[in-house]
Amino acid sequence: MTESTATPTPTTATKTTPGTTVSSPARLADESSQGRTTIAASVVQKIAGIAAREISGVHAMGGGVSRAFGAIRERIPGGGAGGAANIAGVQVEVGEKQAAVDLDIVVEYGASIVELARAVRRNVITAVERMTGLEVIEVNIAVNDIHLPDIDGDEEIPTVQTARVE
């Protein structure tokens, strides 16, 4: 007896922008005599981004390019309106009943990447399934960088000016 393990193909078109991929329009096959429920792919994207950030050890989301665009967007008045930070590094594909999530993350130095990935995956699946009713078929996590507090300059390190020659 042979078993097929083909991944279901969502029935939606995919839109790609720097750092994000969103399938649109997303639908939830929740049709009853009282109406139909649809969920935009951007909603799933935000839920997954927030759920991933909730895990201790995740320093930032996104690869270098999406983080650079995010930093520029935050400097533009009205451009950094909270929502953009939640979708950086999050790509989703949403079908009628299922969703797939791809995450690009930066981890804190010292965190166990394997344990962190498990926790992020578990939290994203739980949040998306609970809030949308969609079955999450996969959560792919790409660790793109590691945050070193002393080198990145995120913490204020006092510098003492000393003369080399007296």
Q: How far apart are CA 55 and CA 117, in angstroms?
A: 9
pLDDT surpasses 80 at 10: no
- Across the chain, mean pLDDT equals 76
The tens digit of pLDDT for each residue in 98-157 reads 999 999 999 999 999 999 999 999 999 999 999 999 999 999 999 999 999 875 455 554
Mean pLDDT of 69-90: 63
45-49, 58-62, 155-159 — most confident range: 45-49
Q: What is the pTM of this model?
A: 0.66
What is residue 118's predicted lDDT score, i.e. its pLDDT? 97
pLDDT surpasses 70 at 17: no
What is residue 64's predicted lDDT score, i.e. its pLDDT? 58
Tokens of 159: 């510098």
User: Which own/partner contact pairs does 146-153 have at CB distance under 8 Å and 24+ positions apart?
Assistant: 146/106, 146/107, 146/108, 146/109, 147/59, 147/60, 147/106, 147/107, 147/108, 147/109, 148/109, 149/109
What is residue 19's predicted lDDT score, i.e. its pLDDT? 47
